[in-house]
């Protein structure tokens, strides 16, 4: 297991490596604010539901409300983390998840410990201790996370790429240029390839003028990066060039 | 790229989707235990996803798919390799009969340390009030404890004799407040263990100071029986519960300091976690009971409720608690060997 660029890398016994992206304190703060708003709203509703108890007995109603608020405020995080595999509603919205620091399944004890120790992370005010700990710690752990052996990770939405995005590229002018294709594959970074794929995937969602500008920028970038000769792209639109580049990057002709 | 991506995706995607669906089903019920056939299928799909990820590792120009597969493998890894650590379904009955008392006994050294601190605080508090009566104003946490104990007792007993049930209209509110406040204090005592035990130490000592000061004040005023009748019914549970919070704090502190252990910090904390949770759970449960007793029994005095009955109730309750913590769930093996083998001090 190793940590780099706020990522925690885990190597499985099968010899495969995967990584978690450590959540930033800002995202965690956002999730916390959402949860706080949710608890406040839930309490407003619960208080309304419990109020009739006070008509029967003011004392009993008040006693129940004191305990109910405590259970809601202290229990929400624990129950949500446990029931939703490390997510509260706020974490779901912010795409965060609490996971075991070794990549294993979160246990009930871990959910409890990390939430019961919030008190110490809140000291002396406004999560100062927990915030400083999360900033200083390589895995972004507040003290509760340290004690529970958990980390909070950011999970951006990812779906398996749809190969139909590439369409039919029978007339790709880059094909047959072995040296150029090799150069393109060597020089293109994963992020650039992904950006080009996404630009094609989301074609219909982009405004025409913005789309033209985006494809122009991508085409210029790939031409410069792989030194694509003018003769090969003569008469091609920027969009077609991007399609051809993505085709040779992602597809192997049999 | 040496892989035909669209062919690869078309062939493998159904398996990924089956793995995803299986993992989602597991996520929907955290207590679910997989049947053998389903577990085998899950493992097979996971191994296949691992292999797919390994194939893609070398193909730099495909981060989207790789990230997707990494997510799947990470979730599968957590489920398959995490089963051992996750433990089974929580069974409250079993936890009450075995889990909690066994956790207490495993970490009993931390309990005695918390107890010693509270006793030391008590001696200090009693000494402070004995040698400097003005210290009472600083030490006593509630205004009704500042007056003369004899006057208070006379007032309480007069009200009881006249059939006046003072505070009857707010018993449940009082009970709720006590439960919440005491549970919060106990959880804080545990959490302060992360200050290498210093915060827990201060809290245990401080609670002892208050207890010692109050006890000496009433004993010196000749009100020992009233004091016992007032404190024992709820105190025989409440004070041990706070000590359990202190015990949990010192278990955490022990894991942080790791004086006797060569394990890394994370492993020490992980090992302490389940016992800390058990101790806190037990303390919270006791405090709910103590809140009810303090509100609905402790506040009734003679002649409404005889002190002897209240004292007997408190003593019986304490004896039951001691038995529970000391004997419940003790392994039947000769000499309690099985439990001792698992043990380890605080």
Give the tens place of pLDDT for each residue, A79-99: 999 888 899 999 999 999 999
Size of interface A-B (CB pairs under 8 A): 201
The pLDDT of residue A254 is above 60: no
Same domain, A136 and A25: yes
Give the pLDDT of residue B342: 42
Same domain, A124 and A16: yes
* CB-based burial label for B24 (10 Å; 0-12, 13-18, 19+): exposed
Same domain, A112 and A94: yes
List of chain B residues whose C-beta atoms are within 8 Å of the C-beta of residue A191? 63
B176 to A65: CB separation less than 8 angstroms, yes or no: yes
Q: Is residue A4 less than 8 Å (CB to CB) from chain B?
A: no
In whole angstroms, give the CA distance from residue B199 to residue B250.
Answer: 10
Q: Which residues contact B282 (CB under 8 A, 6 or more apart)?
A: B100, B103, B104, B241, B244
Q: Which of B188 and B342 is assigned the larger pLDDT?
A: B188
Of A108, A148, A250, the CB nearest to B62: A250
The pLDDT of residue B211 is above 90: yes
Instruction: Please name the residues between 72 and 101 in chain A that touch chain B, using a CB distance below 8 Å.
Output: 82-85, 99-101
Q: Which of B69 and B122 is assigned the larger pLDDT?
A: B122
B78 to A197: CB separation less than 8 angstroms, yes or no: no
pLDDT in tens, B60-108: 456 677 778 888 898 889 888 876 555 566 788 999 999 999 999 999 9
pLDDT in tens, B305-332: 899 999 999 999 999 999 999 999 887 5
Rounded mean pLDDT, A161-167: 62
Confidence of residue B137 (pLDDT cuts 50, 70, 90): confident
Rounded mean pLDDT, A58-69: 93
Confidence of residue B341 (pLDDT cuts 50, 70, 90): very low
B30 to A163: CB separation less than 8 angstroms, yes or no: no
Q: Is residue A160 less than 8 Å (CB to CB) from chain B?
A: yes
pLDDT in tens, A7-30: 888 888 878 888 888 998 889 999
A252 to B2: CB separation less than 8 angstroms, yes or no: yes
The pLDDT of residue B228 is above 90: yes
Query: Collapsing DSSP states into helix, strand and coil, what is residue A86?
Result: coil
Same domain, A148 and A220: no
Give the pLDDT of residue B135: 84
The pLDDT of residue A169 is above 50: yes
Same domain, A150 and A168: no
Residue B90 has φ and ψ, to the nearest 5°, of -75, 125
Substitution target from B2, B12, B61 for chain A, most A beta carbons within 10 A: B61
Same domain, A115 and A178: no
Confidence of residue A4 (pLDDT cuts 50, 70, 90): low
Of A57, A63, A197, the CB nearest to B176: A63
The pLDDT of residue B343 is above 70: no
Same domain, A236 and A138: no
Give the pLDDT of residue A97: 92
Structural domains of chain A, count: 2
Substitution target from A18, A110, A226 for chain B, most B beta carbons within 10 A: A18
User: Quick one: what percent of chain B has pLDDT higher than 90?
Assistant: 50
pLDDT in tens, B263-280: 888 889 988 999 999 999
Same domain, A64 and A41: yes
Beta bridge partners of A19: A9
B86 to A107: CB separation less than 8 angstroms, yes or no: yes
List of chain A residues whose C-beta atoms are within 8 Å of the C-beta of residue B270? 149
Q: Which of A191 and A217 is assigned the larger pLDDT?
A: A217
Substitution target from A47, A57, A86, A105 for chain B, most B beta carbons within 10 A: A105
Confidence of residue B346 (pLDDT cuts 50, 70, 90): very low
Give the domain-ending residue among A121, A154, A187: A154
The pLDDT of residue A135 is above 70: yes
Give the pLDDT of residue A44: 95
Q: Which residues contact A202 (CB under 8 A, 6 or more apart)?
A: none
Give the pLDDT of residue B2: 46
Q: Residue-wise over B26-60: b if at least 16 C-beta within 10 A, else e? A: bbeebeeebeeeeeeebeebbebbbebbeebeebb
Tell me the nearest-neighbour CA distance from B258 into chain A, angstroms.
Answer: 13
Give the pLDDT of residue A182: 83
This complex has an ipTM of: 0.83
Give the pLDDT of residue A163: 60
Same domain, A237 and A205: yes
The pLDDT of residue B242 is above 90: yes
Range of the domain at A217: 163-250
In whole angstroms, give the CA distance from residue B210 to residue B110.
Answer: 21
Q: Which residues contact A173 (CB under 8 A, 6 or more apart)?
A: A232, A233, A236, A244
Q: Is residue A64 less than 8 Å (CB to CB) from chain B?
A: yes
Give the pLDDT of residue B37: 86
Give the domain-ending residue among A154, A187, A216: A154
Instruction: Please name the residues between 214 and 233 in chain A that touch chain B, using a CB distance below 8 Å.
Output: none
Same domain, A138 and A213: no
Same domain, A15 and A138: yes
Q: Is residue A198 less than 8 Å (CB to CB) from chain B?
A: yes
Q: Is residue A168 less than 8 Å (CB to CB) from chain B?
A: no
Task: For tokens 């202190």, name the residue.
Answer: B246
Same domain, A147 and A69: yes
Name the average pLDDT for chain A: 86
Give the pLDDT of residue A248: 81
Give the domain-ending residue among A134, A154, A174: A154
């Amino acid at each position: 297991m190793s940590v780099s660029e706020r990522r925690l890398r885990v190597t499985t016994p099968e010899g495969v490596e995967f990584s978690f992206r450590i959540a930033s304190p800002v995202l965690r703060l956002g999730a916390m604010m959402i949860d706080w708003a949710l608890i406040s709203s839930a309490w407003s509703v619960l208080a309304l539901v419990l109020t009739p108890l006070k008509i029967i007995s003011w004392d009993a109603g008040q006693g129940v409300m004191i305990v109910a608020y405590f259970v809601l405020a202290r229990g929400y995080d624990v129950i949500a983390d446990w029931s939703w595999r490390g997510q509260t509603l706020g974490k779901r919205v912010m795409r965060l998840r609490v996971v075991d620091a070794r990549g294993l399944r979160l246990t009930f004890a871990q959910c409890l410990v990390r939430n019961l120790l919030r008190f110490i992370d809140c000291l002396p005010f406004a999560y100062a201790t927990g915030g400083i700990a999360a900033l200083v710690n390589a895995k972004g752990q507040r003290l509760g996370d340290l004690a529970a052996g958990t980390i909070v990770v950011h999970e951006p939405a990812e779906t398996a790429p749809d190969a139909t995005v590439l369409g039919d590229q029978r007339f790709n002018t880059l094909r047959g240029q072995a040296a150029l294709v090799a150069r393109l594959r060597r020089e293109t970074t994963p992020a650039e390839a992904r950006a080009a794929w996404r630009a094609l995937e989301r074609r219909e969602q982009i405004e025409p003028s913005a789309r033209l500008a985006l494809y122009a920028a991508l085409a210029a970038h790939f031409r410069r990066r792989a030194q694509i000769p003018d003769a090969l792209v003569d008469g091609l639109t920027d969009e077609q060039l991007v399609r051809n580049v993505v085709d040779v990057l992602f597809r192997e002709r049999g | 790229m040496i892989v035909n991506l669209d062919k690869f995706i078309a062939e493998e995607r159904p398996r990924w989707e089956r793995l995803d669906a299986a993992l989602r089903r597991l996520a929907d019920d955290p207590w679910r235990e997989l049947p053998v056939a389903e577990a085998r299928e899950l493992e097979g799909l996971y191994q296949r996803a691992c292999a797919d990820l390994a194939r893609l590792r070398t193909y730099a120009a495909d981060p989207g798919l790789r990230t997707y597969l990494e997510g799947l493998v990470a979730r599968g890894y957590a489920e398959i390799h995490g089963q051992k650590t996750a433990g089974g379904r929580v069974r409250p009955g079993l936890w009450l009969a075995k889990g909690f008392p066994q956790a207490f006994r495993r970490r009993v050294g931390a309990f005695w340390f918390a107890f010693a601190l509270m006793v030391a605080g008590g001696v200090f508090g009693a000494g402070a009030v004995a040698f400097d009566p003005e210290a009472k104003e600083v030490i006593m946490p509630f205004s009704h404890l500042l007056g003369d104990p004899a006057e208070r007792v006379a007032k309480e007993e007069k009200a009881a004799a006249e059939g006046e049930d003072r505070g009857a209209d707010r018993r449940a509110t009082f009970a709720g407040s006590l439960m919440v406040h005491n549970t919060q204090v106990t959880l804080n005592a545990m959490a302060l263990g992360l200050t290498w035990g210093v915060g827990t130490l201060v809290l245990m000592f401080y609670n002892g100071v208050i207890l010692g000061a109050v006890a000496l004040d009433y004993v010196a005023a000749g009100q020992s029986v009233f004091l016992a009748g007032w404190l024992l019914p709820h105190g025989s549970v409440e004070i041990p519960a706070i000590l359990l919070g202190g015990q949990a704090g010192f278990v955490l502190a022990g894991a942080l300091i790791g004086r006797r252990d060569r394990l890394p910090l994370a492993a020490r904390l992980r090992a302490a976690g389940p016992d800390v949770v058990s101790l806190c759970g037990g303390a919270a449960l006791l405090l709910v009971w103590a809140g009810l007793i303090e509100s609905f029994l402790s506040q009734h005095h003679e002649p409404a409720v005889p002190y002897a009955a209240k004292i007997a109730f408190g003593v019986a309750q304490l004896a039951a608690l001691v038995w529970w913590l000391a004997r419940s769930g003790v392994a039947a093996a000769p000499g309690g060997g099985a439990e001792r083998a698992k043990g380890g001090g605080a």
